[in-house]
Structure 1
Amino acid sequence: MMTGRIPQRSDDDVIARPEREGEVLSLIRIWRQYYCSGYRCQVESGDAPGTVAAGRGGDGAGLDAQFSTHKEVFNELNQLLIHRLKLPQYFPYGSSSDDFQVLCHGPQLGVRMGWRGEGANDEMGAGALHCRDVVDVLACVRSARSAGSGVAEQSKGSSEVEGADWGSQGHSSTVRLLAARGRPVTAAPGSGALALPGWSDTIPCAFVRGGEVNARIVSWLMRLPGNENLVTEPTQALHQLYYDPNIENKNLAQKWLMQAQVSPQAWQFCWVLLSPEKVQEIQYFGASALHTKISRYWGDIPAEQYDTLKTQLFGQITRFASGPKIVLTRLCVALASLALNMMPEAWPAAVSEMVRMFQAEGAGVDGRARCLALLELLTVLPEEFQTSRLPQFRKGQQLLRQADSPGFIKAKVLKCLSSWVLLDVPLNESEGLLQECFAALCDPELFDTAVEAIVNAISQPDSQSELVLCRARRLFLFYGRSVAFVSRPAAACAVLAQSVLYEDAGAVVSRVRHSCRYVNTLLKLVPQVLQLQEQLRQAVQSGDMETSHGICRIAVALGENHSRALLEQVEQWQGFLALVNMIMFCTGIPGHYPVNETTSSLTLTFWYTLQDDIMSFEAEKQAVYLQVYRPVYFQLVDVLLHKAQFPSDEEYSSWSSDEKEQFRIYRVDISDTLMYVFEMLGVELLSNLYDKLGRLLTNTEQPSSWQHTEALLYGFQSIAETIDVNYSDVIPGLIGLIPRISINNVQLADTVMFTIGALAEWLADHPVMLSSVLPLVLHALGNPELSVSSVSTLKKICRECKHDLPPYAANIVAVSQEVLIKQIHKTSQCMWLMQALGFLLSALPVEEILRNLHSLITPYIQQLEKLADETPNPSNKLAIIHILGLLSNLFTTLDVTRQEEEGEGAPPVKTAPPEPGPNPVVVVLQQVFALIQTVLSKWLNDSQVVEAVCAIFEKSVKTLLHDFAPMVSQLSEMLGQMYSTIPQASALDLTRQMVHIFASETDHFPPIKALFELVTSVTLTLFQQGPRDHPDIVDSFMQLQAQVCFWKPDLFLSENLDVKAVFHCGVLSLKFPEAPTVKSTCLFFTELLPHCADTPPIGQVVQEDGKLLLQAVLEAVGGQASRSLMDQFAEVLFALNKHCFNCLALWLKEALQPQGFPSSRVSTEQKDTFSQQILRERVNKRRVKEIVKEFTLLCRGLHGTEYAADY
C-alpha cells in the first residue's frame, strides 16, 4: 500500500565536489538507510559521534549498539561535510570557537549536527549542501542571529529551556500560533531543545532565546504536517479555508495546504482524505494532492510501487464513478499523469487497458457510471499530456541514426519531436536529437519535417535562462561575491540562501546550471546552421523556394530567439556575425515578394530584436557592438530599399489583387524596420539617402528607373512619418529635389505625395518652400488613383501650415470644390477634404471665410432642399447623410480662434479674442436651421439621419464653445421637440454637451434648465414603459445626469424635477446586463452622493431610499453583475461610506441580515467581516476595491480557485 511508505528524496539533494561525489553518495545512502529504520542520530561537534536517542520502537541501549557499528561511517560523513567539503561559515556566532546547531530534517526525522566554525574557509567550496530544507534552516539561523539570538551550548540548553516562562510577553503569540495548530510547545527534558508533539524532531536551542522561538523556524516547522496529525491538520486547514470568515486566515490556510500537498507526508494523508465519510471538499483536496505528487514528484516513486499505485487509483475512480464529479475528475487526471509517466516502458498499452478495466463488471458500480468515468478519463488524458514534460529522446535518436530505418518512420519521429518540444522542453535536453535533425536536412523527403522540428526546438523560451544568469550575477555582486561563482553552483546556492529573494536556493542553482548548458548548446548550434549556407545558395540559384525558406527559418529562429545570449559570448563574436550575414542574405534574397520569394519577410523581426539587444547594453559595451554592427545596418538599409522596389509596370499589372495587397503590407513592414533602424544610425542615415537620391536625379548620362527613385523617397517617408526631422540639414535639399522628379507613374506619385505629407511640420517652419510642393498636391487632387495620398497630404498641410496658406487659399478652395462636385473621391476622402478646408478657412478673415463658405456649401444646401421635399426612400437617405456629414466635418475644424487644451474634464478655454461679429459657423447654421428642421420632420423615425443632424451641432459646440451661444435657445427648443416625439440617444448626447458648456452661464441657464427637465421627464416616462429595449438611451441618460451633478447640481433644485424618480431609475439601471450602461450609472451615483449635504432634494432622497441603492450594489457584488464591473460598484460603496456614513452602517446591518443575501455561499461571519472592513475605509479607495473583489469571489464560490488567480 502506498499509504505505508513515503517515497524518499533523490540523491540529487546533495551536491558534492566531482571528485568526491561517489564517496558522498555512498555515505548518504548508508545514512538514509540508517535513519529510515526509525532512529534518530545526534552527532555532536568534535570527533565523537555522540549519543543516540531512542526512536520509534527501540530502546536506547539497543540503538547505542547499532550505532557503534556505523560510528566510523557517520564520523567520516560528519568530517567530510564539515571539513573536506569546506562548508563556509557564513553565519558566525560570536567567537570563532562557538558551536552552533544546524537542523536537517528529512521525510521522517531530523539529524542535529554540531558544526564547528574553526577552520572553515571563507572561500566558497563547490560542495556545500543546498537541499531545500537545509537552505531554509540556514536562512532561519541567519534571521535568528540578526535578531540577536544567542547560541545555547548542548550542556547548558536543558536548564535554560526548562526554566523558560512560556507565558511571558513577547513570545505568547508564538505559543498561541503553535497551539492553534494543535501542537503544544514544551521543553524536551534533558535535551536542550523544544519538543513539538507530532514531529519526530525538536527545535535546537540555538534557535531559542529567552524561551522565544524564532518566527521563521515556526513557519518552517508548521508547513510540514506532523506524523500524528496527518489527517486532522489538512482537515482543519480545509475547514479554515472554506468556512473561516477572516480573509487573512483563509490565505494562511491556502498557503499551508499548497505546501502540505507537495510535502512527503502527502503520500500518507491523501488516501485517508479520500475516505467515504469525508465531505467532497476534503476528498477533492486529497485527489489534488495525489495528482500533484504523481505529476511533479514522479521520481520519488519506486518502480516496484507503480502497479500498486495504478491499482489503487483504478479502485478509487471506480468508487467515485457515481460522484462527486469534481473528485472523479481529479482522480482521472491523477491516473492520466500516472499513465503518461509509465508509458511506454512500464505501461505500453495504457489506453486499451483503461478501457478493459472499466468494461469489467464488479465493484457494485452500474455500467452507465463506469462508462461516464471512462469517458472522463479519456477526456482528461490528452489535456494532461499537454502539461507533461518530455522524457529523454533516446529511442527517437536511435531511430533517426539507423540507416535502414524506413523514411516514414524517421518522418514520424521528427513529427513527434516537433510536437513534444512545443511543451517548453529545455534546448539542451533535445541537443542530441537536434543534431540528427540537421543531418536529416539532406534528405528531401525529411527536409520539411526536420525544419519544423529544429525551429520548434530552437524557438522555445530557454533564452530566459540567460536572464536567470544575469540576475544571479547581479545578486552576487550585491553581496560582494565574485561573479565567477556562477560556474560554481553549490557556492552560488550558499550566497543565494542569504538573500530573502530566494528561499528555494536549490531551484535557483538548478536554473543557473541549466543556463550554462543552454549557452553551450547554442554555441554548438551556430556552426551547424552556418554549414547550411551552401545548401541555401544552391536552393536560391535553382529557384527552390521551399528549401531556401526552410533554411532561412532555422537561421532566423536561432538569431531572433537567442541574440542576446549569443551577443554575450564575446569570444565567439565572429560566429554570430557570420550568422547575421547569413540572415542578411536571406533578407536580400533575389526576386519580388510575394511572387518570386516569400522568405525575406521572415527576417524583419530579427533586425528589431538584434538592435534592441545591442542598444540595451551599457554605454561602454554598446559602443563596441556599434562599431561592428553599424556597417551591417547600413547594408541592411540598402537591401531593404532594393526589396521595396516595385516590379516593372508590365509585371505588376499581371499580379493578382491579393498579391498586390501582400506586397503593400510587406512594404509597410519594411517602412517600420527603416524607422526602427534610424534610432541606431541617426541623421547619418538621412544624409546617406539624400546623397543617393541626389546622384540619381542629377545623373543625366545614365537615367535611372522610377522604381529606384520611388524606393529612396519611400525611405525618407518611412522615417519622416514618425521621427522629428526638423533638425536635419538635408530636408531643404530633398524639398528642392522633389519638383525635379519626373512623375509618370501612379506608385511614384503616391510616394511623392506621402513624402510631402510626412514633411508638413517641417514646411510649417519653412513656409517659403510651400510654393515648391503645393502645386504638385493640387494637381494630384484631381486624380482618383491618388485620392488617399493627395487628400491626406493636403489635410496635413492645411492643419500644420494654415497661417501661411492665405495666399493660396482661393486656389485650394477652387480645386477642392471642383473635385467635390465631380465626386471623384470616395465618401471618406470627401470628409477629409472638408476637414482640410475647415483648417484652411480658419486662418482667413471673417469676410473671406463667409465668402468662401457661401461658394463652397451653396450647392449642397440646394441639393438638401431638394431632398427634403422628396418622399423618404433609401437612396435620398444616403444623400442626406452624406451632405450632413460634409457640413459636420467642415464645422469640426473651422475655428476662427486659437484653442488651448486644458486638463481633462475641464472646459476648453479660448485664448485669442474673437473678431467682432458672429462666428461664421453660427451664421451658416442659422441660415440652414429651418432646412434642418424640415429634414428632421420627415426623417425623425430614422436614427441615422437624426444622429447625423445632432453630429453637426455637437461638433460645432465642441469647436466653437461659447461662440455657439446665439444658437443655444433655438437648438434647445428643437432638441426638446425632437426628443419628446421620439427619444434617441444622440439627442441626449448633444444635451450633455450643451449642459457642459452653457449650464453655468446665467443668460443661457433658463433654456438649458427647461431642456434638462423635459428630457428627464420624457426618459422617466420611458422607464415606466420598459427601458430594457433602450440600453443606449439609458446609458446616455445616466451620463447626462452625471454631467449635471458634476457641473451644475443646482438643476436638481428645480421643483419640476422628480429627483426621487431619477434616483430609482438609477437603481434600476444598475441591474442592466450591458456593461457600458452600468458603468455610466455608477458614475452618476458617485457624482450624486457628494451633494447629499449641499443639495436638499438629493440629501432627502438618499436618506429615504439609499438602502435600495445599497441593496442593488450588494446584489451586483453578490454575483448579479460581471466581475469586471466591481471597481465601479466599489466606488459607489466608497461614496456612500464617505458621504452617508451613519446611514450606511445601519443599512449594511439591515441589508446583510437576511439569510442567503447577497449570496448563499457566504456566512454571517463573512458578511460581518465585509461590513466592518467597508465601514473602516473612508479614505483609501483602492483598499475598498480590494475588499469588494475579495467579497465577490466569496459570493461566487471562486475564492481560492484558479479562476481568481488573475483577478
Structure 2
Amino acid sequence: MDTRLPASAGEVLPLILALYEPSGPEAIKQVQETLHHVQKSSSAWGIARDLFSYEDDKVRFFAALTIIVKLNTESESLQEGDALELLANLLSWLRASLVNGAGPMVVRKLTSALVTFFLHFPSLWRHCVRDLCAALSCSDATGQPISGSTGLESLDLLDKHRLRVVLWFSSALVEEVGKIDSNTDTHTGIYEATISNLPDVSKIMSHCLALRDAADEDIRVLCEDCIKCYQAWIFFSQRVAPRADDVTGALRPLLAPTMAALQHDGLLEAAGELFVDILSNYSGFLQDSHYDTLFALLDSPWAESRYNELVRGDFDFESVLFGQVMLSLGDSRIQQLMEAVDDRSHRFLGRLRGLVNAQGFPIGDDKIFVPALEFWSTFVETLIDNMYSEETGTKSWVSSATSHALEAVAHAWHKIAFPPAEEFASWDSTDRVAFGDARKDVADLLQSTYTVMGPRLVSTFAGLVLERLASGLWLELEAAAFCLGSLADCVVGDVCDDSLRTVFSGQLFATLQQPTVPVPSRVRQTCIGLVERYAEYFERDAALLPGALRLLFSALSDHTLAGPSARVLLATEASAFIGQYRMLSVEHSLDGHAAEKVIGAIAAVIQAIPSEPERLHYLDQLLGFVRRDANNLFQTTTAAGGAALLAPADGSGVPASAEDLALKCLRSLISIARGFQVPADGPLDLDDQPLQTKAPPSQTLAVLQMEIMNMIQTLHSMFPTSGEVVEAVCTILRAGFSETEPGPFVFSPDVVARFFTKQNTTGPRVGLFVSAACSFVSSFIKSSGPETDMLRVTLLTWVIDLLGNLSDPDHDTELTQNGIEFVTRLVSKRPEILLQAPGHHAETFFLFALRTLDGREPLPKAAAADFWATYFALRSEDALTQSLLERSFTQLGPLLGRALTRNIGGSAARSELEKLCDPLKKLVSHHAKAKSWVEQGLFDPTFPAQHISDRDRTVFLKKVISLRGSRATNQVVREFWLAARGSKFAYAS
C-alpha cells in the first residue's frame, strides 16, 4: 500500500474537497489523518502558499489553518527574514481575499493566523493594528495599498467591511493574549506589545461608534462588532489591572457612545450584554459619572417605554435583556440605592419591584421573574447586614428600604401560584422543574424577610390563607400555604401561635375533608404539608391534634396525598398502623410510591420498640405484605409461563409487567430496611465491635434474615437481565452494612459474600454488585482474623476475575471503575491481601489498571489514577509485606512512568490532568527511582509528542523532580501537555 504523503497543492486539493463530500466515517477519518500529517510535514509551508491561489473558500480555509498549525509547531525554527516574509504573505493573502470576495470563514481564519503570528513574533510586529489598517487601506486596481499610508490618518479610506476585519483581528488579539499567563517573564513582551496597540484600537472603535446613527444595516453590523471588540478589551484591561491603569483610562472615553448605542435599534443586544457583563463582573471599570449617566438613561422616556413593554408581557430577547441591564445596575449599586432619598432612585427601585410582577406565569411566560427575584433576595440580605452591623449613627433610610422589600415580597408570593393544571401539563419538564425552583427561591426570600419583619410576616400569610380559603381561590390558597409553610423554620417558640391558631382552628381542615368541595389535589397536598412543617405547634396545642390526625388519615385514600401523609404519621402503636395498612392494601388505595412511603414509616415505628420479641413479631407481620406479593408473583408467572403482563396489583385496571411487580416487592424491602436502621443519634465507634465479635442473632431474627435473603435471591433469579432489579437488590444489601447491631438486614458476612461471588459478567450491571461489595468490605475494614481475611481474599479474586474477563477496560466502564475502586479501598488498609493473592491475580490486576490509564473513558481512568497514587504511597510495618511492596514498585515503576508520560504527553484530555498528577506526585515524593522511571517514559518510542525536543523533555523532568510532589507540579504538567498538543502557551491561571 502506498503511504506516501501528498507533496503538492494539486495532490492535497482533492483530499480537502473530499471532506465536504458525502462519505463514510472511516473514509473521512482517514482523509483527516492524512491532511493532519500534511500540515506537520516540511512541505506544508509551500503547499499552504500555493493553495491560496485557488478561489475555493474551503481550500483557502485549509491553507490558513495550515499556517496556524505550522506557526504553533515550528515558529522557533523561522529566521527573522522568513518570519517577515510570512507576515507580508499573510497580509497579502488577506487583502486578496477581500478583493476577491472570500467568505467570512476564510477572512476570520486569516485574521486568526495573523494573531498567531503576533503571539510568536510580537517584537517583529509591534504595531500590528496600524500595519493591518495600512495593508487594508483603499487600494488601486492592482490590489496594492496606498503608498506610505498607515491606515489611521483617515479611517474613511477603509470601507465598512475592512473595518470589520480590523475589529475581528483586534478582538481575537486580546482574547488570545488574555489566555497567556501574564505572570511569566517570557510573556511580558507580548503584553507590552499588545497594550502599545490600544491607542490605535481606541481610535478605530471611536470612529466606528460615531457612525451608529446611520440608517444602514452594514453600519449596524459594524457597530455591533465594534461593541464586541470593546468588550474584549475591557476584560483584557481587568486582567492587566492594576499594573496598567493607562489601559482603563484609554478605554473609558468609549463608555458614553456605547451607552448611547443602547437606544439604537439593533444595538441593544450587543450593548446590553456588554453592560450586564461589566456591571456583574467588573463594576469598578465604571466611575460615578458613568453610573449617573446610566441611571439617567434608564430614567428617560425611551427606558420607560421599554420597561412598560416588558412588564406587560413582552419577553423577547432584547426586552428581557433590557430588564437584566436594570437589575445589573441595581445590583452593582445596591448599597447606594438602599440609602438613597432622591426621587430618581425611588423610581428606579419601584421599577425593579415591578419586574417581579410582570404579566405571565414565571418560567413558562415571564423570563424576568427569576433574575428580579435574585436581586430582591440580595437587597434583603444587604438590608439585614446593614441593620445589624456595629456601625453607629442614624439609619433613617431603613424604613424606606424595608418598605421596598415588603412590596417586592407582596408581588412575589402570588406569582408562584401554579398555572391551571392543563396549562402546566403542557409545559416541558425543564420548565416545570424551573418553576419549582423559582418557588424555592421565593421561600428563601421570605425566610430572609422574616429577619426584618418577624412574626408579622407569619400573621400576614396566615391571613392570606384564610382569605383565599373563604373566596375559593384554590391556586392562590396553595401559594399562600406554601409561603406560610416556608416560614416554619424561622419560627422559634410560641411567638406565632396566635396566627397559626387562626389557620388550624378554622375551616381549613374541615374544607379539605369535604368530598363535595372541588379542592385540587395539589392544594390539599400543600395544606397537609403545613401539619408537618408546624408539628411543634401541635405539641403545644394538643386540642387541635385530633383534627390534624383525621385529615392525615383521610388523605391516605388519595393516591397523590398518601406520600406526604406518610411522612407525618404520628405513632401510637404498631398494631394500629399495620391494621390500617392492611385495610388500605386490600382496598388498593395506595399506589406503589405511596405504599413504599407508608411501609417505611411503619418500619421506623416498629424499630423503636425496645422489646426484641415484640419488635420482630410486628416486623414479621409487615414482611407478610411483601411475602404475599412475592408469592403471588412467583405463582402467577410460573402458571403463565413467565407472562410479561399481569393483573394490576393496585386496582387501577392497568396491567403491570411482572418485572414492575418484582420491583415493587424489592422497593418495599428497601423502605423496610431503611426504616429499621438504627437512628444515628450520637457518634459511633466502629472499632468497638469488630465483625467476628458481634453478638449472634437470635433464632427468630436468623429465620427472618434467611427469609428476606431468600426473597431477594428469588426475585433476582426471576429477572436476571434487569438492571433495575440489580440496583434494588444492592440497595437492600447496603442498608445492613452500616449497622453495628444485629438486625433483620444485617446478614451473615459469608451469606453476603456467597451471593456476590455468584454474579458474573453475563448479567447486567455487575459493576453495581462490585460497588456494593466495596461498601461491604469497608464495613469491616478494621476487623482482623482468619475468617474476615478469607472473605477479603474471596471477594478480591472474584472482582479481579470479573475485570480479567473484559477484553478492554472501556467496554464496561461501570465494572472497571467500581472494580478498581474496590481494590483501592482494600489495598489502602491491607496491601498483603492483594500481594499474596492466589495465582496470578495481583499481576492481572496491575496490568489491567495500567491499561485503564491508557483508556479513553474518564471515570475508569480517574479510578486507576487514584489506585496508583494510593499504591505507590503504601508502606507496611510487616517486613514481608514491605518486601513484596518494594519488589512490585521496582517492576511496576517503569510501566507506570510510561503510562503517565503517554497521558501527559498529549494522550489525556485536559480535564484528566489533575487526577493524573496525583500518581506522578506520589512517585516523585516517595521513590528515589522515580526520575529514572519518568525519564524512560519521556524517551520511550510510545511517547506521543515526538515533536517535543529532548531538551524540553529533560527540562520538564527536572522541574517535576525538583518540586517533590508539591501542588506546583500540576501547573508544570499542564504547560507540558499544552506544548505536547501543539501550543507553547499556557492558559490563564
Confirm or deny a common fold (TM above 0.5): yes
Instruction: Give 2:844's aligned amino acid.
Output: A
Assess if the C-alpha contact under 8 Å between 2:206 and 2:254 holds in 1: no
Give the Å deviation of 1:1050.
3.8
Aligned residue in 2 for 1:669? 438
Residue 350 of structure 2 is aligned with which of 559, 581, 585? 581
Letter in structure 2 aligned against 1:1170: F
Task: Tell me the residue number matched to 1:346.
Answer: 157
SS at match of 1:345: helix
Q: Which residue, 72, 79, 84 being the options, matches 1:271?
A: 84
Residue of structure 2 aligned with 1:1194, choices 952, 968, 979: 979
1:1029 aligned onto 2:804:
no
Contact conserved, 2:462 with 2:484, CA < 8 A, in 1?
A: no
Question: In the superposition, relative to structure 1, how do residues 659 and 940 fare at CA in structure 2: closer, same or farther (>3 Å)?
Answer: closer
Alpha carbons 2:414, 2:480 under 8 Å: kept: no
Instruction: Indicate if the aligned counterparts of 2:906 and 2:981 stay in contact, CA closer than 8 A.
Output: yes
> Aligned pair in 2 of structure 1 residues 547, 770: CA closer, same or farther (>3 Å)?
closer
Contact 1:926 1:967 in 2 (8 A): no
- Once the 2 structures are TM-superposed, how far is the Cα of residue 430 of structure 1 from its aligned partner? 6.7
Shift of 1:926: 1.4
**1:106-134: per-residue Cα shift (whole Å, max 9, x none)?**
xxxxxxxxxxxxxxxxxxxxxxxxxxxxx
Relative to structure 1, the CA distance from residue 830 to residue 1188 in structure 2 (aligned partners, 3 Å threshold; closer, same or farther) is farther
Query: Gaps (5+ residues) in structure 2?
Result: 1-70, 91-109, 177-200, 232-250, 645-656
- The 1:625/1:892 distance shift into structure 2, 3 A limit, reads same
Change (3 A) 1:918 1:1082: farther
Query: Residues 943 and 292 (structure 1 numbering): CA distance in 2 closer, same or farther, change over 3 Å?
Result: farther
- After superposing the two structures, state which structure 1 stretch, 280-289 or 1049-1058, moved more: 280-289
Q: Compute the displacement of 1:1184 (Å).
A: 3.5
Partner of 2:755: 974
Q: Deviations over 1:156-209 (max 9, x none)?
A: xxxxxxxxxxxxxxxxxxxxxxxxxxxxxxxxxxxxxxxxxxxxxxxxxxxxxx
- Report the CA distance between 1:772 and its aligned residue: 5.4
Determine the structure 2 residue equivalent to 1:891.
Answer: 673
The residue number in structure 1 matching 2:425 is 657
Instruction: Indicate the SS of the match to 2:738.
Output: helix
Q: Report the equivalent of 1:1119.
A: 906
Q: Secondary structure of the equivalent of 1:844? A: coil
Deviation at 1:634, TM superposition (A): 1.9
Contact persistence 1:835–1:890 (CA under 8 A): yes
User: Normalising by structure 1, what TM-score?
Assistant: 0.57
1:684 aligns with 2:464: no
Question: Which residue identity is paired with 1:970?
Answer: V
- The answer for the alignment partner of 1:564 in structure 2 is 332
- Partner Cα distance (1:302, 1:1028) in 2: 50
Instruction: Provide the aligned length of Structure 1 versus Structure 2.
Output: 810
Match of 2:948 in 1: 1162
Q: Distance in 2 between matches of 1:958 and 1:536?
A: 58
Query: What is the alpha-carbon distance in structure 1 between the residues aligned to residue 163 and residue 228 of structure 2?
Result: 27
Q: Aligned in 2, Cα 1:679/1:349: closer, same or farther, shift over 3 Å?
A: closer
Name the structure 1 match of 2:930.
Answer: 1144
Label 1:749 to 1:463 Cα distance change in 2 as closer, same or farther (>3 A).
closer
CA distance in 1, matches of 2:789, 2:694: 26
- Please tell me the residue identity of whatever aligns with 2:444: M
Distance in 2 between residues matched to 1:1031 and 1:597, nearest whole Å: 43
Q: Give 1:528 shift.
A: 0.8
C-alpha separation between the residues in 2 aligned to 1:564 and 1:994? 53
Report if aligned partners of 1:757, 1:794 keep a CA contact under 8 Å in 2: no
Is the Cα–Cα contact under 8 Å of residues 413 and 442 in structure 2 kept in the other structure? no
The share of aligned pairs that are identical, in percent, is 13
Counterpart check, 1:783 vs 2:558: yes
Mapped pair 1:880 → 2:666: no
1:1035 partner letter: Q
Change (3 A) 1:517 1:1087: same
5+ long unaligned stretches in structure 1: 1-236, 244-256, 258-265, 317-334, 355-376, 400-408, 441-445, 469-513, 799-804
Cα pair distance change 1:1200/1:735, threshold 3 Å? farther
Report the alpha carbon displacement of residue 429 of structure 1 after superposing the two structures with TM.
4.4
Change (3 A) 1:397 1:895: closer
Q: What are the equivalent positions in structure 2 for 1:330-345 lying under 5 Å apart? A: 345=156
Q: Map Cα deviations across residues 914-940 of structure 1 (whole Å, 9 max, x no partner).
A: 999549986533113234334444444
Q: Which residue of 1 aligns with 2:373?
A: 604
Alpha-carbon deviation of 1:738? 2.5
2:609 to 804, 827, 844: 844
For 1:1161 and 1:971, the matched residues in 2 are separated by 54
Task: Check conservation: 2:461, 2:484, Cα contact below 8 A.
Answer: no
1:398 shift after superposition: 4.7
Q: Does 1:948 pair with 2:728? A: yes
Structure 2 residue matching 1:1160: 3-state secondary structure: coil
Say which of 838, 847, 864 aligns to 1:1064.
Answer: 847
CA distance in 1 between partners of 2:934 and 2:383 (Å): 59
Residues 835 and 893 in structure 1, CA contact (< 8 A), matched pair in contact too: yes
Name 2:801's counterpart in structure 1.
Answer: 1018
The answer to which structure, 1 or 2, has the higher relative contact order (CA under 8 A, 6+ apart) is 2
What secondary structure does 2:487 align onto? Answer: helix
1:636 to 408, 429, 436: 408
| Distance in 2 between residues matched to 1:412 and 1:852, nearest whole Å | 81
SS in 1 for 2:838: coil
1:296, distance to aligned residue in structure 2 (A):
8.2
| Residue identity in the other structure for 2:943 | F
Q: How do residues 134-213 of structure 1 correspond to structure 2 at under 5 angstroms? A: none
CA change 1:755–1:1064 in 2 (3 A) is same
| C-alpha separation in 2, matches of 1:588 and 1:806 | 44
Map 1:484-883 onto structure 2 (within 5 A): 515-528=287-300, 532=304, 545-546=313-314, 554=322, 557-565=325-333, 568=336, 573-588=342-357, 603-611=372-380, 614=383, 620=391, 623-645=395-417, 652=420, 655=423, 657-658=425-426, 666=435, 669-682=438-451, 684-690=453-459, 693-694=462-463, 697=466, 705-706=473-474, 709-720=477-488, 723-727=489-493, 729-730=495-496, 733-734=499-500, 737-740=503-506, 741=508, 742-743=511-512, 744=517, 745-746=519-520, 747-759=522-534, 773-784=548-559, 786-787=560-561, 790-792=562-564, 794-795=566-567, 797=568, 805-807=570-572, 809-816=574-581, 818-819=583-584, 827-845=592-610, 846-868=612-634, 870=638, 871-872=641-642, 874=644, 875-883=657-665
- CA gap 1:1190/1:695 in 2 versus in 1, 3 angstroms: closer
Q: Secondary structure at the match of 1:577?
A: helix
Q: For the residues of structure 1 that align with 2:298 and 2:472, how far apart are their CA atoms?
A: 41
Judge conservation of contact 1:427–1:462 (CA < 8 Å) in 2. no
Q: 1:1047–1:598: structure 2 CA closer, same or farther, 3 Å change rule?
A: closer
Alignment of 1:446-465 (within 5 A): 459=276, 461-462=278-279
CA distance in 2, matches of 1:353, 1:428: 21
- The amino acid that maps onto 1:878 is D
- Other-structure match for 2:198: none
1:750 maps to amino acid: Q
State the distance in 2 between where 1:865 and 1:909 align: 37
Checking the alignment, whether the CA contact within 8 Å between 2:384 and 2:451 is kept in structure 1 is no
> Whole-Å Cα distance in 1 between the matches of residues 304 and 789 of structure 2?
83
Among candidates 1073, 1077, 1096, match of residue 856 of structure 2: 1073
Distance 2:580 2:288 in 1: 69
Q: Which moved more, 1:1119-1128 or 1:813-822?
A: 813-822
What residue identity is the alignment partner of 1:839? A
- What code does the residue aligned with 1:858 have? G
RMSD of aligned Cα (Å): 5.4
Instruction: For 2:481, give the aligned amino acid.
Output: L
TM-score normalised by length of structure 2: 0.68
* Alignment check: 8 A CA contact 1:567 1:573 kept: no
Report if the CA contact (8 A) 1:841-1:849 is conserved.
yes
